[in-house]
Amino acid sequence: MRIAYDYQTFVLQNYGGISRYFTCLAQGLIDLQQQVKIFAPLHRNRYVGALPLGTVIGREFVWFPPKTKRTIQLLSAYNHTAAMKMIANWQPDIVHETYYSRFSSAPKNYPTVITVYDMIHELFYNEFSARDNTSELKKTAVARADHVICISENSKQDLIRIFGTPASKISVILLGFDAFCDQRTVPVAESTNARPFLLYVGSRRRYKNFARFLKSVAASKKLLSDYDVIAFGGGEFSAVEMALIQSLGFTFKQVRQITGNDALLGDYYSTASAFVYPSLYEGFGIPPLEAMAHQCPVIASNTSSMPEVIGDAAEFFNPFDVDEMCFAIEAVVYSESRMDDLRKKGLARLAHFSWKKCAQETLAVYQTLLGKY
């Protein structure tokens, strides 16, 4: 089967969950002997360079213009026109759009698929600019597509409830995960800490609930005394975050932000006392699986897709309740038996997720859709 992926996420992201998903999916389909092409004439993505030569039709720019609205519009217009012509010339069997746009990259009469990752823009619209039209574009792209893939049952139900998308048009395919076992470029010693620490990973937008996480640690004299907090990724702390950290009584550099590659992140998972995932909403949530792969105990919110994905391999808490979050953290980090139990359950849980399985199930969707044409 000839499978085409468009440019969208590879223009928007240097790194990120969506572009990682499509890169891993593409590699999985190539391993299944499928013909795969990513049509990204001008892109910024760093993941796709690892794909077999000839998979990506386009050029990566190490320096990319600032990601302003005007820049994105110009790049999108060029990429859309160029990619659509390239795709038409290649004549794929399926076109899978990698994000939400008003117009399809697929030539007319080609079956199209789109993946919906979450409904964050609809459920937390107050956290986005009034000029952000992601939700409008998503609704248009979903209505236009021949089939929709959701990455969790929770996301599927949200999509049905909010957009009214027919259930018959949606398939749920769970993601895989990366253990970062073969990517070490930084010695372990550089990522270890003299004091035990709690690990937080990724963006710290308001719905990610980082502030309540800090408050939950500060609410315990024992945790405040015994543990550092490492926030990996997400950019440097803002002035508001620095003020909050100081007001909660953390000592200098007790809460630190770290930026690094996957190998360094793997080191932090391996050496953390626990990984805490306080988000109010996730469409899937890969970081808990990454933590499990490094035998790092997981402590997580009990909302949205988290219980579905994590199963029994975490200590859960209500993310709106600071005290409950605090108790959950204490119940894990001060109990060797609970930590061992979560490590074992985490390793067992990983059997449900792989990029190979994701690729196989996605291919089955493509084949079913192709059979209708």
pLDDT in tens, 208-254: 999 999 999 999 999 999 999 999 999 999 999 999 999 999 999 99
- CATH number listed for the domain at residues 188-352: 3.40.50.2000
pLDDT tens string 148-182 = 999 999 999 999 999 999 999 999 999 998 776 54
Question: C-alpha distances in angstroms, 36 versus 5, 30, 57, 93, 256?
Answer: 8, 6, 10, 10, 41
Residues 6 or more apart in contact with residue 229 via CB below 8 angstroms: 197, 198, 200, 213, 214, 217, 250, 254, 255, 256
- CATH number listed for the domain at residues 2-176+354-371: 3.40.50.2000
Q: How far is CA 343 from the centre of its chain?
A: 22
d(CA 210, CA 165): 32
Residues 6 or more apart in contact with residue 317 via CB below 8 angstroms: 278, 299, 300, 301, 302, 324, 325, 327, 328
Confidence of residue 65 (pLDDT cuts 50, 70, 90): low
Evaluate if pTM is beyond 0.85.
yes
2-176+354-371 and 188-352 share one fold: yes
Domain spans in the chain, listed from the N-terminal domain onward: 2-176+354-371, 188-352
Confidence of residue 39 (pLDDT cuts 50, 70, 90): very high
Confidence of residue 71 (pLDDT cuts 50, 70, 90): confident
CA angle centred on 337, ends 334 and 341, rounded to 5°:
115
The per-residue b/e assignment along 200-237, b for 16 or more CB within 10 angstroms, e otherwise, is bbbebeebbbbbbbbbbbbbbeebbeebbbbbbbbeeb
CA angle centred on 319, ends 307 and 252, rounded to 5°:
125
Q: What integer is the mean pLDDT of 292-308?
A: 97
Q: Residue 327, exposed/middle/buried by CB under 10 A (0-12, 13-18, 19+)?
A: middle
Q: What are phi and psi of 276, to 5 degrees?
A: -110, 130
According to DSSP, the residues that pair with 213 across neighbouring strands are: none
Confidence of residue 184 (pLDDT cuts 50, 70, 90): very low
